[in-house]
Structure 1
C-alpha cells in the first residue's frame, strides 16, 4: 500500500512550514494532491520526491542568464510528471552552469590583468585589437540579449563609440568590460555597485584600479570567486537532480519508455 502524508507530516519531513507546501501547490511546483472527503490533502512519495528536487533546484540563488528560469522549468516539468522533459532541461541546466563558470573564470583573469597593468586582453579572442562589432553581434558574442546590453548602456555602465552613420561599434576594450559586467550581474552584483567602479575609472584614467575596487563593498575578484562557489554548488545540486529524475522516471513509470 502506498504511503501517504498529511500537509504537516510532509512539511516536517522536508523541514518547511505547512504554508510553504500549500504555496508550492498553488505555484504548480508539485503535482496537485488528491483530497479526502473533508478536504484534507493527501500527499504521497511522489510529492516528497518532487519537493526534494525543488529544494535542490532553488537552494542556490543565481538569477542571471536564464539559470533561475531553467530551474523553475525543471521543477514544473517534474510537477507535471513529464520526466523526459525534466531530464532534458536538467542537462541544459548543467551545460549553462558550465558556461557561466567559464565566464566567471574569464572575468577574474581580465580583472587580474587590469590590476597588473595589463589591459590588452588574453590574445585568444578579442585580444588582437581588431574586434569591431555591432550591438546585435556583441549581444550574440557575449550570449546576452540586446535588451540586456541596452539596459547596461542606459544605466551608464559603458559608453559606446559610433560610426559616422550613427551605428554603435564595440571594441576590444568594450568587450572586456562587458565580460566583467556580465559575471558581476550573474553574481547578483548591483548595477549601482558596478557603476561606482566604472565611473571612477572613467572620471580619471589614472585612477588606482586596485584602490577603486577595494573601496567597494566587495572586490570584483571576490564577487566572481563567490559566483564560482555558487555555481559549483549549483552544479553539484544539478547532478543530484538529474540522478533523482532518472530514478523517479523508473520508479513511477509515468512516461513510456524511450
Structure 2
C-alpha cells in the first residue's frame, strides 16, 4: 500500500495543498487517517478519487443541475458507493447529450430564422410589453438583452421603444439561443459576425471566443464545452468501474 503526505498529493496533481484539504472538507475525497503528529496519510484510493474529481470538474457546465449531478457522483464514489456513482454518471452523460441536442437545435432554428424561412412579416409596430407578450419572455429579459448590446431598439418621438418585424426576428434568435444556455457574449459575437458576413459559419462564430476577450465562460463556447464534458464523463465511467473492482472490498489497497 502506498501512502502520501498532503504535499505529495498536491504535487501529483499540480495543485495547492489547501486545495487537497478543501476537497476533503467538502467530501469530494474521504477523510484520511492521521499520524500521531496529526499529519494526514493519503492512500492510492485518495489519488484515484482526486483524479476522478478533477476530471469531473475540469469543465464546469452549470445549466440544469449538471454541476450538482457531478458533485453528487464524486461524493458517492468518495463514500465507496460505486454502484450509485456509476448510475449518477450514466444519468449525467444522458443529460449532457440532451444539452448538446438542445444547443444544436437552437443553431438550426437560428439558421432558418436568418435565412427568412420562419419570417412572418406582419408590418406591425409593437411596444415593449407587446413584444414581451408575443415572445413569451419577461420585460426584464428584453431590457437585459438591450443593455448588453444584443438589440438596438428604435424609439418614437415620445421616447417609447418600438419593435419592428426585423427586431422580432432577432429577438426570436436570441430567445432560442438563450433557452439552450448560450451566453449573451456568445450570442452577441455570432450576431455581429453574421451582420458583417451573412455567409459566416454560425456554429463556429458562436463557439469561438475572441482572443482578446478578458473573461471566457463555459457558455461562451457551449458546444465545445458540452462535448468535452461528455468525453470526460465517459472516462469517469471507465474509471469508476475499475475503482469498483479494486476498492469495493478495501479502499486502502
Does TM-score exceed 0.5, indicating one fold? yes
Give me the CA root mean square deviation. 3.4
Greater radius of gyration (CA):
2
* CA–CA separation in structure 1 for the residues paired with 2:172 and 2:48: 43
Structure 1: unaligned runs, 5 residues or longer:
122-148, 159-172, 202-207
1:181 partnered with 2:164: no
**Of residues 155, 170, 174 in structure 1, which corresponds to 2:141?**
155
Residues 5 and 41, structure 2, Cα contact 8 Å, conserved in 1: yes
Q: Unaligned regions of 5+ residues in structure 2, if any?
A: 121-135, 146-168, 209-220
C-alpha offsets along residues 205-242 of structure 1, whole Å, 9 cap, x if unaligned? xxx9942999xxxx786335732211111111001100
Aligned to 2:72: 73
Aligned counterpart, 1:239: 234
Secondary structure of the residue that 2:67 maps to in structure 1? helix
- Deviation, 1:17, is 1.1
Q: Distance in 2 between matches of 1:21 and 1:229?
A: 28
State whether residues 28 and 75 of structure 2, in contact with CA within 8 Å, keep that contact through their aligned partners in structure 1.
yes
Q: Report the counterpart of residue 222 of structure 1 in structure 2.
A: 205
**Residues 58-113 of structure 1: CA deviation (Å, up to 9, x unaligned):** 11121111111111111111111111111000000100011011011111111111
| 1:155 Cα offset (Å) | 2.6
Report how many aligned residue pairs link the two structures: 196
* Change beyond 3 A, Cα 1:155–1:46: same
User: Which residue of the partner structure matches residue 57 of structure 2?
Assistant: 58
Q: TM-score normalized by structure 2?
A: 0.67
Match of 2:25 in 1: 26
TM-superposed deviation, 1:35? 0.5
1:166 aligned partner: none
